């Protein structure tokens, strides 16, 4: 049976992040005993922003959203998400 190292106490999250960037958790945690956990009520954190758009662009977005039967703000989030995924696949963020 493998002997695992003790996880050190950290002063703050930065110290912990630094530690784990240089050490493997397999030396500290018995992953064979890990259990799958589900967080059914976990919601993504969102933040409201103000965005000024030309009226013609907003009108076109609303028409597209109506065709897709989704709220226009949801459609805008989908568009932004798709574009960020596409851009991040070509450059490293």
Among 23-27, 43-47, 54-58, 80-84, whose mean pLDDT is lowest?
A: 43-47
- If we measure between CA atoms, which residue out of 9, 2, 3, 5 comes closest to residue 28? 5
Is 93's pLDDT higher than 80? no
Mean pLDDT score, 52-71: 97
pLDDT band at 40 (very low <50, low <70, confident <90, very high): confident
């Amino acid at each position: 049976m493998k002997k695992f190292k003790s996880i050190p106490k950290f002063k703050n999250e930065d110290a912990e992040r630094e530690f784990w960037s240089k050490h493997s958790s397999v030396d500290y945690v018995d992953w064979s005993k890990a259990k799958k956990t589900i967080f059914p009520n976990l919601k993504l954190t969102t933040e409201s922003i103000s965005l000024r758009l030309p009226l013609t662009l907003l009108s076109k977005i609303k028409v597209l959203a109506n065709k897709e039967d989704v709220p226009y703000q949801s459609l805008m989030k989908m568009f932004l998400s798709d574009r960020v995924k596409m851009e991040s696949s070509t450059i490293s963020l």
